[in-house]
Amino acid sequence: MGVEGSEQEVSCRAVVQLRNVVLPRPHGELRLWMLIGLPWAVKVAGSSFPLPPPIVPASRPCVLFRSPMSRIAYVNGRYLPHKRACVHIEDRGFQFADAVYEVIALRAGRPIDEERHLARLHRSLAALEIAAPMSDAALKTVMREVIRRNGIADGILYLEVSRGSAPRDFAFPKRAKPSLVMTARRQRLAARLVEEGVGVITVPDLRWARRDIKSVSLLPNALAKQQAKAAGAYEAWQVDRDGNVTEGASSNAWIVTPDGEVVTRPADTGILNGVTRQGLIGLLGREGLRLIERPFSVTEAKAAREAFLTSTTNFVLAVVSIDGTPVGNGHPGSLTRRLRQLYDAYVAAQGGVR
């Protein structure tokens, strides 16, 4: 049992001593704040926690609340505290970005569009000739265990498979065992972003020619996102040599033309075929809305009636400005709002409670 003593500010009485007691449990740690003193409320890290009238003598410790569960990661067959989870320094994911990944949305603890994510994972693995680390049934079991151990309702699950670790050599090692890593964390998009929409900037697409493979080779995407952040924008739309938008740093790009047609780039090797994109295309068909899969230029996007982006972490999110130029009236468009609602309902129908 680990005990860290700390003095905390108490709102109405004198300073008391709180002890953070960590009890090891089979599935993580139970953290108890133990009180020695007699306050009516305690202030910890800026937040006040009201206390019931004392039910135990002041000299006896009592349980105040349970802190969030510690994070657990899955690494090659083991569930480890997140802080201590690691792969080998010669893992090819680390040295060559020789790895693929998936990010899966979780709602009410359930993976959304799991089959599409697994299908894309297999496609990426096959393209790089990396063996699947385990069967899909086993993968699903590990996914659920990671979600359960982290106590996640709404959030994301990250899954990465690398070719494994081997002495550094560019060519594939003869016998490497793929590494499998999984983490999960709480995450939900701020309602304000959905209501107000976001701005994007455009940047040259610096990536390789197989963007359809969901590889961890994400440096150009990270540079683009950082550029967007520095410019006060939410996302960067990458632009090919012909002046056409490929996709965002971590999302797919869409516009609505003045004629009301929904346009997005075809899912060839030039973009990642987003799982959200695939789901939304299905919904557009169901609703009888016109979709055209073709490239569109930055100029066309700036003159579009509406624009939006899609991804696992954003679902459908309105884009209200491009390089500072307002799209339409500078507010989320009506079709975009409808598509957001349709997609939210699609997620809810998979068992997630919104």
CB contact at 8 A, 184 and 157: yes
Given the structure tokens 């400005």, which residue do they identify?
Answer: 321
Tell me the helices (H) and strands (E) count for the chain, helix number first. 8, 21
Q: Does 252 bind ligand PDD (CB under 6 A)?
A: yes
Q: Does 311 bind ligand PDD (CB under 6 A)?
A: yes
CB contact at 8 A, 283 and 342: yes
Write down the least CB distance from residue 221 to ligand PDD, Å.
Answer: 6
Write down the least CB distance from residue 139 to ligand PDD, Å.
Answer: 17
Nearest to 124 by CA among 146, 87, 93: 93
Q: Which is nearer to ligand PDD, 179 or 221 (CB)?
A: 221
Given the structure tokens 């150009």, which residue do they identify?
Answer: 220
**Coil/strand/helix, residue 33:** strand
Give the interface segment with ligand PDD, choosing from 63-71, 172-180, 257-265, 269-277 (CB under 6 A). Answer: 269-277
Among 103, 108, 128, 231, binds ligand PDD (CB under 6 A): 103
Catalytic residue among 140, 177, 214, 225: 214
Among 265, 277, 305, 337, binds ligand PDD (CB under 6 A): 277
DSSP 8-state assignment for residue 83: G
Write down the least CB distance from residue 338 to ligand PDD, Å.
Answer: 19
Q: How far is CA 159 from CA 14, 88, 184, 190, in A?
A: 48, 17, 9, 24
Among 289, 313, 335, 343, binds ligand PDD (CB under 6 A): 313
Write down the least CB distance from residue 94 to ligand PDD, Å.
Answer: 17
The reply to whether 214 belongs to the active site is: yes
Provide the terminal-to-terminal Cα distance of the chain, rounded to the nearest Å: 39
Interaction site with ligand PDD (CB under 6 A): 103, 221, 247, 250-252, 272, 274-277, 310-313
- Known catalytic residues? 214
